[in-house]
A and B are shown apart, each in its own frame.
Chain A
Amino acid sequence: MTITWESIKEGDTLPELKKKPGVTQLVKYAAGSGDFNPLHHDYNFFQSQAIGSIIVHGRFKYASLGELVSNWLGHNGFIKKISCQYRGMDFPDKELICKGTVDRKWEEGGEKLAELTVFA
């Protein structure tokens, strides 16, 4: 399915992206991103012991929201701006559901724009 700016409507929802990142996925993300903070793979690290578990990289969740939008766009558009705040910690092997809606669609300076809310 190819989306176009003309075909999207305010209020549209994006197809959900479901993941269940386990330790192995987090290790792959550590290698791919260069973020080797032990809090994301080492249960013996002092911060992991204090929290009681390793936690999912905030940036893994952020990148997953990027994936949600990328899958929806299907390379028929360009992400101009993407921002993400971390509201809480997530633990390995728990389902992470990424969702999004189209909030606004408008034209400005010859550009066809849309603004989305995305969250996991």
Chain B
Amino acid sequence: MAEQFELTQEMKDKIGWKSQPWTYEVTTTSVRAFARGVGYTDPIYFDVDAAKKAGYRNLPAPPSYLGTTVFIPGQTDDTFSFPPGYSPEIDSGMTGLLDGGTEVEYFDTICAGDTLTAVNRLTDLSVKESKSLGKMLVVSTEATYKNQDDKVVAIQRSQIIFY
């Protein structure tokens, strides 16, 4: 448990940091694998014909599908499957990690066959204290996803907690 933790100027200076754009394809296989992982039984996430009958151009990405990744050995983060340089590097010295929460705003339907390009931005750093975990660093990011037509289809805001 971290007793002492203060934000340094070096950390604060990183607020506003932007990642390199990360481009990846949404595929039928990844939509099915995600839907299966969540436990969906709705055929629209598995069967292209069912999806088309429901008015989609292909399998739609289920809510919170964003962040699902394409892995490239030696480049992609081995644990979280993020591409290189996608997550802000904050050297907090704390190793405990928890997901604090996520909000996604959608502007259009995302379907298999789409190509998404995401740019992640560090929007805030704050220190909180929890009774059980001690001092915690809350890292807030905002990722903007554009599709192949350069249209913003989603914005994802996330909080990651280090303790």
Contact = CB atoms under 8 A, between A and B. Distances in A.
A81 B155 CA distance: 9
A69 interface: yes
Contacts of A82: 63-64, 103-104
Given A79-B106, A81-B106, A83-B103, A31 B37 contact: yes
Contact of A32 (B34, B54, B99, B103): B34
A71 B71 contact: no
Given A58-B99, A70-B62, A71-B42, A34 B106 contact: no
A92 to B, nearest CB: 13
A86 B38 contact: no
A86 B102 CA distance: 9
A30 interface: yes
Most B C-beta atoms less than 10 A away, residue of A19, A28, A30: A28
B144 interface: no
A103 interface: no
A60 B38 contact: yes
A29 B38 contact: yes
B142 to A, nearest CB: 13
Contacts of A75: 44, 54-56, 60
Chain A contact residues (Cβ within 8 angstroms of B): what range?
Answer: 35 or more
B98 A86 contact: yes
Interface string B36-80: 111110101000000000111000101110011101000000111
A21 interface: yes
A19 to B, nearest CB: 6
A37 B79 contact: yes
A36 to B, nearest CB: 5
B134 interface: no
Contacts of B109: 78
Interface string A57-100: 11110111111011100010011111111100000000000000
A25 B56 CA distance: 27
B63 A66 contact: yes
A81 B105 contact: yes
Interface of B: 30, 33-40, 42, 44, 54-56, 60, 62-64, 67-69, 71, 78-81, 96-106, 109
